[in-house]
Chains A and B, each alone.
Chain A
């Protein structure tokens, strides 16, 4: 559906997006994930034709962004961050204006507006000025704007930013509903959101793609370090560290801060594929120490994200 090749964008000397290659199939919900300033918005703006890439190509279906930007704009519905709508218009007039520009007229136009009003729960605010709406309501109007022509591709830039938890759930539900038939690309820096809504997650940092896959694929970890925490009583940290280092599979033992007196906590970095917890337990059992805690940090999206996007 969307084919991106070597996409690059420079702002003067600053490289915001650096040779991104991306293929999005029809019907996927793709989450662009990254810290602030990673290049998510810039990438989306190039996809929607708002920015011209410095180099590289974007193809949507068979249309190239250079040859037929208008055809691409017809296929894409876009909701920019913070939904910058015309403030002085009332919601109904605004949607009607957009419907006309999207080429809808007469009966179909009225039907589509009514449909979207139900879908995005806009019934009660149709005759309010956009200026007077709260952020969440504006976001919903923006979503209706993006979906006006029932586009094949929906691009949403941080669709849930600034919303309250109930609104977030609502918007996510709408996105998932649309995502069953349409291709959706959304950007976010909220991990749980990407996890909850997306089939596929693309992590961007400093303008480059650093990970790409489904949540399962990413959390499966592809090797990497795993962390095990252990809490012990009746032993000093140094003594415990010396002994536990000998357990096969443990690469590193680092004492951690602990609030309780008499208790020590250690963080162990484990580099083996197999589970080392039985060996650890056996090693502790052979001593007089009291084991109060033994846990493995589950490798969730959050830890992966932090590992990948950390400085250096």
Chain B
């Protein structure tokens, strides 16, 4: 576990060395801020629900950009060889990199805390719901990061890793709005695998263990698949 923390430390610092991190954060804040506040005053409700509702789709585009370099870059540069010949296990590497990606997503969400602070000055904001939403958002980022990490472990090309992860994440995010195309018998299953369906409960302020379990499971599956993919190499 100590080794995992060391890897986390290195990867997390690495994010802030390159300018990509700042660009991603800036774009995320502009897009979510604009989409949220452009309709905020029309609905005249002092809550964060509409902000959280944006996240399954926006994260599906942003988190793959965060995770794409984690393995692909190392495989491409060859430092993967050095990493694997150090006394660290696959598990340490995966957990370290995964936590770094999730921590970066959390850092990206940090400035958005100014929204609920602002809202609470002009209306009556339910902080419990908001806090639940943020916890859910981090779990959501974690589940996407698991997928992104897996995609990154498959290829030495960061762009491919990013696109593969985006396709999977966006599918999870929007599939519950396409139920119309599916036969009635599998609609329940489709709804269940949709990240949007699970997250909309959290956005409403309902923190249900089933939804939390869903995000944890997706993250775990992603990390397990990453482990298999590393063993395969």
Chain A residues near B (Cβ < 8 Å):
45, 48-50, 70, 73-74, 76, 78, 80, 82, 84-89, 97-98, 100-103, 145
Per-residue A-contact encoding for B1-19, CB less than 8 Å = 1, 0 else: 0010011001000100110
Cα A80 to Cα B18 in complex, Å, equals 26
The answer to whether A76 touches B78 (Cβ under 8 A) is no
Question: Chain A residues near B81 (CB, 8 Å)?
Answer: 45, 50, 80, 84
The answer to whether B87 touches A85 (Cβ under 8 A) is no
The 9 closest A-B pairs by CB, nearest first: A84-B78, A73-B87, A48-B85, A74-B87, A78-B85, A84-B79, A80-B81, A88-B17, A100-B6
B89 in contact (CB, < 8 A): yes
Question: Chain A residues near B79 (CB, 8 Å)?
Answer: 84-86
* Shortest beta-carbon distance from A44 to chain B in Å: 10
- Tell which of A84, A103, A145 has the most Cβ of chain B within 10 Å: A84
The answer to whether B86 touches A50 (Cβ under 8 A) is no
* Shortest beta-carbon distance from B61 to chain A in Å: 24
* Shortest beta-carbon distance from A162 to chain B in Å: 14
Where chain A touches its partner, the secondary structure class is: loop
The answer to whether B82 touches A101 (Cβ under 8 A) is no
Cα A78 to Cα B78 in complex, Å, equals 13
- Given known contacts A80-B78, A82-B78, A84-B78, is B14 in contact with A70 (CB within 8 Å)? no
Question: Chain B residues near A73 (CB, 8 Å)?
Answer: 85-88
Cα A73 to Cα B88 in complex, Å, equals 8
Question: Chain A residues near B84 (CB, 8 Å)?
Answer: 49-50
Question: Chain B residues near A80 (CB, 8 Å)?
Answer: 78, 81-82, 85
Q: List 17 A-B contacts (CB under 8 A).
A: A70-B87, A70-B89, A73-B87, A73-B88, A76-B85, A78-B85, A80-B81, A84-B82, A85-B82, A86-B10, A86-B77, A87-B77, A88-B17, A88-B18, A97-B10, A101-B3, A145-B82
Q: Which of B82-108 contact A (CB under 8 A)?
A: 82, 84-89
Q: Taking CB as reference atom, which chain A residue is nearest B3?
A: A101
* Shortest beta-carbon distance from B73 to chain A in Å: 9
The answer to whether A98 touches B78 (Cβ under 8 A) is no
Cα A84 to Cα B79 in complex, Å, equals 5
The answer to whether B86 touches A101 (Cβ under 8 A) is yes
Cα A155 to Cα B89 in complex, Å, equals 20
The answer to whether B18 touches A97 (Cβ under 8 A) is no
